[in-house]
Amino acid sequence: MNRKITLLTLFTLLAGTSVISPDTAFAERDDNVSNDRREQRVEKQRPQRAERNTPQHVERERPQYRERKNSQRTERFERREQKPAVSQHRADQKRYSTVAPRHVESRRTYRVERPRHIVRHRYYHPVPRNRYFRGIRIYRPYGYLYPGFGYYYSDHDAFRFLAFTAVTLAIIQHLDEPQQRMHEHALVLATTAEIGDSHYWGSGHSSGSVTLLYIGSDARGREYREFRQEVTTGGRTETSYARAYLNSNGRWDVTKIS
């Protein structure tokens, strides 16, 4: 009996190992086959990727790109030579000119309007025709007497433009105070105008204008402006020319030309 039992146990053990061992063997073989296939795929793909990353393809295209670029340059040069000299000069001037020319007449006309809100001093003492304020001579031989200049109703506010009273006209004697202030305000606007700009005013039967003629600088580097002023009233017109110099403190000095 013991022999039979031992034989049965040995048989069962042998049968179990025979059943298990083929599966594991087949599994190991399948794994080896799959690994071999993966390695073959990688080996096939590696040369293709290497070919894509090689700089040979880029080196082939570089001469073509250079030839195309050189051809474009030659075409542009030929077109430029075919242009007329005048048009080419204008094109170069537009291309390389960074600062617009200053001495170019615009010939624009602006109308001087009275301000909507006028701040008037109800009571101010009459001022003399010849006086000084901070070293500036204020001289009004004609017209109405009042402090300030234009629409600046005090000498302190009109400090920069008080010297313009030296270029007054005799015909201003026939204007009233609002007309006289309008003309003075046109002189103030001329200090910031462009060459050729005219500031025109009209009130009743009287009118006037101030036109900027030239902008330059003297030997000391001061900017100056030459302008023409005209006043018409009663069928008579009077004209004068003056030059105003801008000082470092922002004040204008005026010299009468004619």
Read off the pLDDT of residues 22-80 as tens digits, 9 standing for 90 and up. Answer: 455 445 555 665 666 666 665 665 555 444 554 554 445 556 666 777 777 777 766 66
Q: Which domain holds residue 28?
A: 2-82
CA separation for the pair 209, 172 (Å, rounded):
13
55 and 11: one domain? yes
Residue 227 or residue 119, greater confidence = 227
Residue 134 lies in a domain: yes
AA letter at 10: L
61 within a domain of the structure (yes/no): yes
The pTM score is 0.58
CB 109 within 8 A of CB 136: no
Please list the residues that pair with 95 across neighbouring strands.
none
Structural domain includes residue 89 = no
Overall number of domains in the chain: 2
**212: which residues sit within 8 A by CB, 6+ positions away?**
190, 193, 194, 195, 196, 197, 198, 225, 226, 227
Cα–Cα distance list, 44 to 41, 48, 55, 155, 243 (Å): 5, 7, 20, 97, 91
78 shares its domain with 113: no
Question: Are residues 36 and 132 both part of a single domain?
Answer: no
**Model confidence pLDDT, tens digit, residues 133-148:** 998 999 999 999 999 9
- For residues 53 and 129, state if they share a domain: no
CB 229 within 8 A of CB 187: yes
Question: Does the residue 93 lie in any domain?
Answer: no
Domain boundary residue, one of 67, 82, 97: 82
Closest listed residue to residue 171, CA positions, set 256, 258, 244, 234: 234
**pLDDT one-digit tens code per residue, 200-239:** 999 889 999 999 999 999 888 889 999 999 999 999 999 9
